[in-house]
Structure 1
Amino acid sequence: MSTAPDPSAADRATHARIMKGLRLVTAPFPHLAGLAAAVRVEIDERVPTMGVFASGRLLANPAFTARLSADDLVFVLAHELLHLALRTHDRARGSATLEFNYAHDYIINDMLRHALGTTVIPAGGLDMPGARERSAEDIVLEMRRTGSYMPSKTLVWEGQVVTVEQVLGAARQAPAGSMGDALDARRERELFPEDSADQVERARAVRDLAARGMVLAKAMGAMRGKGDSPGGQQQSVRAQRGFFHTPWHVALQPWLEGVAPGERTYTRASRRGNDHSDVVMPGRKRYSWMLNVILDTSASMGDDIPKALGAIADFCDAAGVDEIRVVQCDTVVTSDEMLSPAALADYQISGYGGSDLTPALAALADDPRVTSAIVITDGDISYPSEAVPYAVLWALPKSSTSFQPSYGRVVVMQAGGAS
């Protein structure tokens, strides 16, 4: 006798697929990493497709999700995260709620088409080529002027083609927030009354993450012959702090959100980095944690090492890093030690030989405590072809078109002044 499939098992599989999709979103959009980690995914047939509340609760219809390919799912999830990043819920208030939701849908989908190289908007999403160059207010005005003949859809995803006027007319007859994917707070309280008291605080935390994510997006937009023997030389170098124009903690924050231990909390703001007016930094539940750094000490890195050390120290001050494990390597590991960020001020460097970081990456791979590492290098190196079992951030003091690793994420630091 056959048995019916277990709905809870199916929902768990859908939930796992969405969580994987959220992780994949952060590869092309690292500034969304904080929001991707903050959203709470719930499989819910009460929504026709997918939508997100200002609190970060993301609802996904299981049948709709099943119809999406892996690439389309990443697109749709990135779309929902961008609603949080652009604060659609806060800006789309009053009588123009659905209009503003749709305007942001046009903008977001055009942004994603451009960023991901997509020719067709997945899942029948709203499509307006060039919308990313326009403001939401401008698009709303166009919708109002041409609503009787401007095409739109009855739903953000998989809707039927109608005119804007028909969409807005239907919206006036429908429950609040039932047609867009930027789901409103009143509907969340109705659907989830058991945690209504927490929803306002969660929305506030998500707004803070969104603000920081937009700062990160701007910051990251502004950044963009090997030897084979060890050098055997030593030199004491002084860290050059504040050298890079884009603050180190801003450039690396999205990566940090994905690898740092302990969860962020907005019960109190961070006391570190409060002198930076362009960054909102939440406090972190206090877990003593260590930053793993592999430092390329090959001869070609000689001029860049002092600036790299200063950048690491700046980052640690802002991000609340308690200890640093620095593994120096040219073609062999020349030093592996734990130290405080302050110790980088005057630090002994060993190496200045060839350029093979394989021994250093392998040394961290053998340590089960290591879950992530920053590799400071000019990119003119040898390294393992297969991915190591921890998250890697390749940090290059200068841009390198030839360095394209098959794993990890690359950040290029752009100098803000003469060395």
Structure 2
Amino acid sequence: MTADTLGTGPLDRAKLFAARLHAVRARPFMATALFALHVVESRRVPTMAVDRQWRCYVSPAFVARTPVEELAGVWVHEVSHLLRDHHGRGDRFARERGLTGRAERLRMNIAADCEINDDAFGDGLLRPEGAVTPELLRLPGGRLMEDYLRRFGLGPLTQSVAWLDCGSGADGLEREWDLGPDGAHGLSPQERDAVRFRVAQGITARPGNTPKGWRRWAEEAFHPPQPWRELLGAAVRSATSGAGAGEDYTYGRPSRRSAGLPGVVLPSLRRKPPRVAVIIDTSGSVGDDELGSALLEVAAISRAVGGRRDLVSVLPCDAAAQLVHPLCREAGIPLVGGGGTDLRTGFAKVLRTGPRPDVVVVLTDGQTPWPDSRPPCRTVVGLFDRRRTRSWDEGDPDYVPDSPPAWARVVTIGSGSAAR
């Protein structure tokens, strides 16, 4: 048996690049990204791994023992981490929750793999051996990395994938084999953005049988974070993290003060994930562009509360409140309306539909009467930029709607400045 047979010889680049060509044929919309990766031979990498600068570190032994068809699936898997910015998202998740250590980064890698692998294979692309899927963790498919991270911990179900290491491009933690930002053959931030844009452009131009997760990603890639979206997200996070939001008393964990009162059990204050209700103005004064923007803001709101789509509900409303839709529904949310505007009915609907929200977000052009009193929860108003809308009232060009009440946090959607 030769050294090459044992996988201790040089990297078989012909086999590796044949696998990449197979991946391009199976997923032509990824061609730009796949060819943008620069291969670096490394014997310290378990299989294949990527870094932030779009280098792909490859184990010669892994290539030697893996069939071309499976290697093609690994190519697609690794570049998917970079396209979906798992390293940046992992960094943000870790900062927000104070997570440190390799164990937490392993969880991020597993969660990122679940996001990719639930619909990555088939249609000419073979699933690699040992690929992590949501089913392995007994979790539903179609979720984001952040959502999966909240649903599992390291334990018996993850023991079989403890070896997993897709590199810093998957979880944000630098490895000893990384060449770093100053190393050779890395892509600049501008080049990375250009690659993502080209891939998204290829998906939206000819969606064909592109998996639903990738179509959703491409839509978001064409609408990158804007100043007003960051302001809206910050306003929602501030409202959901304030004192009283998402708090309740429980006897499941007695208060420490009970020790000073023999025979008396006092409840403790428990922090619950906050619930957010989004009221979308669907009146006749709101155009299709505003409604499209509203759906993008709903996605931003979901991210602001950590990707927990099950905690976000949406209510289309004009002069009458429609049905309350949970955001975790697979089907689209119908934005029914087109009449006059009275969002007070929307407030009444979401507040009496259990469980009651901790935060209400209203997306509107402002042509509505507002509740006379402060609701029993925090309120954030996303106001469509009035400079971009039509006349307030075609029958009365001098009409100017009332400003949102002082008890609401207001963010102007479509403008990089206004917020209060």
The TM tier, using the shorter chain, reads 0.3 to 0.5
Greater relative contact order (Cα < 8 A, sep 6+) = 1
When the two structures are superposed, what TM-score results if normalisation uses the length of structure 2? 0.41
